Amino acid sequence: MVDVSDLPEGTVSLGDDIFVIDTMLAGYPGVVSAYLILTERPCLVEVGTAGSARTLHRAITALGLAPEDLATIVVTHIHLDHAGGTGDMAALFPNAEIVVHERGARHLADPGRLMRSAAMVWGDRLDTLFGRMSPTEATRIRSVAETGEIDLGGGRRLVSHYAPGHAKHHMGLVDTATGDLYVGDALGVYNPRTGDLRPATPPPDFDMDACLRTLRLFGDIDAQRLMFSHFGAVDTVAETIDRSESELRLWVETVREARGTDGDLDHAVAMVRDKVVSRYGRRPAEASEESAQVMDVLSGPESNVSGIVHWLDRLAREQAEAKKAAEGS
């Protein structure tokens, strides 16, 4: 039995042998959640950044696990705020199998290309925010495709579902015992202090149509709780999925409108801030301003609008190519 009164700050019991752990991205609270499922075969969902490894190790140890006890580490996708610490955590927990979608597996084994791409996006902020992803031994990585299973022991399982839209290597996870759905970034970013829910639409993989298919998939799962990586658990499932779709459509339509007036990227960002972001709740006085700033860097208007513009440009090219092909046939 775990003494919940003696847990590290940021580690909270959610019942059903599940503990949420604040990974303290770049030292700031309330940005990335990891979840430890403390069953016969303990499983960690999400690992945060390279800098989060020691925070997670301390919390997992406080929950009574020795390094050799952790059976599985699973990441919803390979973006550095979710999976950047995979190699470090694999080294700290030597018996854990690493589970990832097949489109991301090679990047965990050889993160060079991923890190070069991240450096182009984040520049000198890369090391401060994320650190450097260490390679994970390929023999310890198990990739899953459209669906997969993770044995939690005692007949309890996590079932993975391919869930693109935010990223091509994204999946959701359903706990068969509780009905909890680990959503990664597929539903966006939830702020438990204000109740706001914002989409997460970064370049280069954002795809509106894929996002909407994933939302329908998640709705059909009929989950009991939604376990957000940003940030925490939500039990208003149907309402939250509906809000996710509404917010996504609003952001995309606002960017479309900005482009329709021949505005550039800065104009689109300004319109989103004015028409969309201004609707969200104010940060409570006791909440960390620095954490809010970090979250805005990760999934604020600049990143989201850039991803939406990238998708709209790709859609326009595909439509032009299809029209050209039809005219030539």
Whose tokens are 């391919």? That residue is: 162
Rounded to 5, what percent of the chain is helix, strand, coil?
A: 45, 20, 35
- For residue 323, what pLDDT band results from cuts at 50, 70 and 90? confident
Topology of the domain comprising 8-328: Metallo-beta-lactamase; Chain A (3.60.15)
pLDDT at 122: 84
pLDDT at 7: 82
Contacts of 318 (CB under 8 A, 6+ apart): none
- The answer to whether the bond into 228 is cis (omega within 30° of 0) is no
Beta-bridge partners for 98? 73, 141
pLDDT at 297: 78
Q: Quickly count helices (H) and strands (E) in the chain.
A: 11, 15
Q: Residue 116 region, left (φ>0) first, then alpha (ψ -120 to 50), else beta? A: alpha
Nearest C-alpha neighbor of 20 from the set 8, 39, 35? 35
Angle at 180 between CA 234 and CA 177, to 5 degrees: 145
CA–CA distance, 38 with 19 (Å, rounded to integer)? 8
262-299 pLDDT tens trace: 768 899 999 999 999 888 877 766 666 777 778 787 87
CA–CA distance, 90 with 72 (Å, rounded to integer)? 10
Phi, psi angle pair for 44, to nearest 5°: -110, 125
Element (H, E) at 258: helix 237-260
39-90 pLDDT tens trace: 999 999 999 999 999 999 999 999 999 999 999 999 999 999 999 999 999 9
* pTM confidence score: 0.93
Segment 203-211 shows an average pLDDT of 94
214-258 pLDDT tens trace: 999 999 999 999 999 999 999 999 999 999 999 999 999 999 999
Per DSSP, the three-state class of 253 is helix
* Strand 72-74, strand 97-101: pairing: parallel
C-beta separation of 50 from 88 below 8 A:
yes
166 pLDDT above the threshold of 80: yes
pLDDT at 282: 75
CB burial of residue 289 (10 Å; 0-12, 13-18, 19+): exposed
* Strand 180-184, strand 225-228: pairing: parallel
Whose tokens are 């979608």? That residue is: 101
Q: How far is CA 179 from CA 19, 46, 176, 318, in A?
A: 15, 18, 6, 39
CA–CA distance, 317 with 325 (Å, rounded to integer)? 12
Own/partner contacts of 33-36, CB < 8 Å, gap of 24 or more, are 33/227, 33/228, 33/229, 33/230, 33/231, 33/232, 35/182, 35/227, 36/60, 36/63
Three state DSSP letters for 299-317 = HCHHHHHHHHHHHHHHHHH
Q: How many CB atoms lie within 10 A of CB 140?
A: 17
